Amino acid sequence: MLELHGQIEEAVGVIRSRWESQPRAGIILGTGLGSLVEQIEVEASFDYGEIPHFPQSTAISHAGRLLCGTLEGLPVVAMEGRMHMYEGYPLKQITLPVRVMKALGADLLVVSNACGGLNPDYQCGDIMVIDDQINLMGDNPLIGVNDDRLGPRFPDMCEPYDRRLVERALEVAGREGITAHKGVYVAVAGPNLETRAEYRFLRTIGADVVGMSTVPEVLVAVHSGMRSVGFSIITDMCLPDELTPADVSEIIAVANEAEPRLRTLVLGVLAGEQAG
């Protein structure tokens, strides 16, 4: 991990050459949930290829830009296009943008994803505010010689998601009449969707939803001393005994349908940051 410090400095140097504000939050949005960034008043934008040590944009299926600006008046930096472990990126590279957000001054990470629902009380299209996580990706972005300048060797994970922000998100949901659960996200490597037996296993170990992202970024946010708030859109239900083949276009349609509600929750959480 000792190489990261220099990489972060170089990336920050490029961003700072064109953008001087201090972001209050860093935002990473998942599959089909990216249109929130359209509401950002962009002051500077960087293709990932322009930022040293970011993954090259040619390898990314969608946009691949870092947007710097304000969202409802709050300075933010947002990733348009996210990297996944199943695409072959090392976790240290996937999570480098989080460290760059922190180095720019953000102390809050807002992250969202599309996921499969395991908890039978959930419904397709529901939103879950992430309360806790299980890492079953088989890897960890913090493996390697620790750089004490970036964070502790053994980060404590008793509260990976900031409790006050979880409560705030649920309050906003209640006020706006949005169905929002609070639950446990388990991350697996993918890229295949899980078998029925795997869904049963993941439910048995205590997970409410399953996905292939988010956990690495939040591990690094905790390591960096950032607070995190995470949202999962349940884009398909994964009940082992009622499983039908997943339809990607349907998943994206569900994500798009849920997006306005997700946006309300994210903006509600950020509004609290503004007041505080």
Partner 1 sequence: MDGQLIDEAVDLVRSRWASTPLVGIILGTGLGGLVEDIEVEEIFEFDELPGFVPATALGHRGRLVCGRLDGKPLVALDGRLHHYEGHDAGQITLGVHLFDRLGAGGLIVSNASGGVNPELTAGDLLVMESHINLMFLQVGDPSSSNQERAGRMLADPYHPAWIETALGVALERGFRATAGTYVAMTGPNYETRAEYQMVRRIGGDVVGMSTVPEVIVASRLGMKVLGLSAVTNVADPEATDGTTAGEVIEVARSLQPAMRAIVAAIVTGEAQADSSQ
- 3-class SS of residue 247: coil
Label the pairing between strands 127-136 and 209-211.
unpaired
Nearer to partner 1, 21 or 140 (CB): 140
> Rule CB under 8 A: is residue 191 a binding residue for partner 1?
no
> Rule CB under 8 A: is residue 135 a binding residue for partner 1?
yes
Minimum distance from CB of 91 to partner 1 (Å)?
11
Question: Could you give the CA distance from residue 87 to residue 61 in angstroms, rounded to a whole number?
Answer: 10
Which distant-in-sequence residues (6+ apart) come within 8 Å of 198 by Cβ?
Answer: 188
Nearer to partner 1, 24 or 102 (CB): 102
> Rule CB under 8 A: is residue 3 a binding residue for partner 1?
no
Minimum distance from CB of 140 to partner 1 (Å)?
5
Question: Could you give the CA distance from residue 66 to residue 34 in angstroms, rounded to a whole number?
Answer: 12
Query: Can you spell out the DSSP letters for 140-176?
Result: -TT-SS--TTT--SS---S-SS-HHHHHHHHHHHHHH
Determine the interface stretch with partner 1 among 14-22, 23-31, 78-86, 217-225 (rule: CB under 8 A).
217-225
Nearer to partner 1, 138 or 276 (CB): 138
> Rule CB under 8 A: is residue 90 a binding residue for partner 1?
no
Which distant-in-sequence residues (6+ apart) come within 8 Å of 115 by Cβ?
Answer: 128, 185, 209, 210, 211, 232, 233, 234, 235
> Rule CB under 8 A: is residue 154 a binding residue for partner 1?
yes
Binding-site ranges for partner 1 (CB under 8 A): 132-136, 138-140, 142-146, 152-160, 184, 186, 204-207, 219, 222-223
